[in-house]
């Protein structure tokens, strides 16, 4: 598959310190995209930027917490100073903290809402003017949101996580009505079981064990396979928008 059309573009990838975000940043950079790496862990970002540059790519490490508006504002300034206008945004930052609702883990609820929904909105607000300007100049402009199959299919004890992803899926659909007429593509990707760091965030031993058992039974996807899907969707002709992509392991119903 040729991704040559990506060469010369400028991307922002959130959640770039690990998982789907890191894999996406690596793949885009390998195809000639200048990539701004956004995440909280500065050391991990610096290591990734060094690795990308060692492979001949261009990367900018920008330590930023998407739950902090001031941090996002500062990140925008750094990206614009280094790279100028952005034409590709990948919202891959996310947290998954399952627990029974009856446990009332308000701390977890707030963290998921702040990261998975409000964090994505902050990044969208920050870079949408760039995307619109890029499209108006005749270029390709993409907003890619990484949601989850949990937006549609309920899993016991994942109610709040699924609700945040359902919100992101709806947001993507609604934004197409605003941005599509301005030639900005919006793509919502909903992976099923995928091997990332999300599982390590779970502090419930029973649920953590259940997730591990699902990987053994279903043969989960890799972060690289999701990254490949992002590269595919964003390298199509600018009038072609793969608006909603659900990707599952073959064994996952």
Which sequence positions are flagged as catalytic? 161
CA 52/CA 48 separation, integer angstroms: 6
3-state secondary structure of 186: strand
Q: Two tokens at 41?
A: 């862990």
CB-CB contact of 99 with 157 (8 Å):
yes
Q: Two tokens at 91?
A: 């919202």
- Residues ≥6 apart with Cβ < 8 Å to 126: 72, 73, 75, 76
CB-CB contact of 75 with 49 (8 Å):
no
CB-CB contact of 115 with 94 (8 Å):
yes
Which residue in this structure is represented by tokens 């690795």? 51
Rounded CA Rg of the chain: 17
């Amino acid at each position: 598959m040729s991704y040559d059309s990506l060469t010369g573009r400028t991307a922002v990838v959130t959640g770039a310190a690990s998982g789907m975000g890191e894999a996406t940043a690596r793949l885009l950079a390998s195809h000639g995209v200048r990539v701004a790496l956004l995440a909280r862990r500065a050391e991990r970002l610096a290591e990734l930027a060094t690795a990308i540059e060692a492979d001949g790519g261009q990367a900018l490490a920008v330590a930023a917490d998407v739950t902090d508006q001031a941090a996002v504002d500062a990140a925008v300034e750094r990206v614009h100073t280094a790279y100028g206008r952005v034409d590709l945004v990948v919202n891959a930052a996310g947290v998954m903290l399952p627990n029974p609702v009856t446990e009332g883990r308000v701390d977890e609820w707030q963290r998921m809402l702040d990261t998975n929904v409000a964090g994505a909105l902050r990044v969208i607000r920050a870079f949408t003017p760039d995307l619109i300007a890029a499209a108006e100049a005749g270029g390709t402009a993409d907003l890619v949101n990484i949601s989850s199959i949990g937006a549609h299919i309920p899993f016991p004890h994942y109610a709040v996580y699924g609700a945040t992803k359902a919100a992101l899926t709806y947001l993507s659909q609604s934004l197409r009505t605003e941005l599509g007429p301005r030639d900005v593509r919006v793509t919502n990707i909903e992976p099923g079981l995928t091997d990332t760091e999300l599982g390590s965030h779970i502090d419930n031993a029973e649920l953590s064990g259940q997730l591990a058992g699902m990987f053994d039974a279903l043969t989960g996807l890799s972060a690289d396979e999701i990254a490949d899907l992002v590269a595919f969707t964003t390298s199509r002709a600018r009038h072609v928008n793969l608006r909603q992509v659900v990707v599952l392991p073959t064994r996952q119903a």
